[in-house]
Amino acid sequence: MVRASVIRRRSLRASADREAVGALLMAEGLAVAAHARVVVAHAAVGTEPPTRPLLEALRARGVRVLLPVVRADSQLGWGDLVEWPLLTTSAMGLLEPDATAEAATAAAAADLLLVPALAVDRAGHRLGRGGGYFDRWLPERPPVRVVAVVYDDEVVDEVPHEPHDRRVDAALTPSGVIALG
């Protein structure tokens, strides 16, 4: 029910509003990633908060950006963002690079994780799309800051969560970074 509500609200956002959000996320995200050399992120699609401006700005600064690739075994592989036009659309509708073993090793040692979410709560619980891909991968991650990328109104008092769900440390929103937990 919460997922459907957030997805519906996202679908009502105008394209121009999403473009403006992308610019704001870039400014705020560059500050969050100021000292990062390797960042795990996601290539936003559809009505998700736009990550392209931020990820391209990170690449322009020499930061290595790694994106998830959903494998046939429902686990995440990783690939390098080289150029946005080189990403391909997966069967799940995600934008993905080519996965490599070397990128997977680098992802496990990343300096910052920018993860997708539909909403987060003040305790750091993250509501994803329900596939559990990031929740399965997060235990393998390095002990670094995990930041969910959401719209301002998607930081809420409480989201449904299960004991296996992994918490995030902060939310990157167009208005700034909000510490959680």
Going from N- to C-terminal start, the domains of the chain cover 2-116+127-148
- In the prediction, which pLDDT does 144 show? 86
Give 2-116+127-148's CATH code, choosing from 1.20.120.790, 3.30.420.10, 3.40.50.10420, 3.30.70.1560.
3.40.50.10420
- In the prediction, which pLDDT does 141 show? 62
Distance CA 106, CA 138 (A): 14
Q: Max Cα separation, the chain?
A: 41
Distance CA 101, CA 127 (A): 28
- In the prediction, which pLDDT does 142 show? 62
- Predicted TM-score (pTM) of the model is 0.92
Tell me phi and psi for residue 3, to 5 degrees. Answer: -55, -50
Which residues in the chain land under pLDDT 70? 130, 140-142
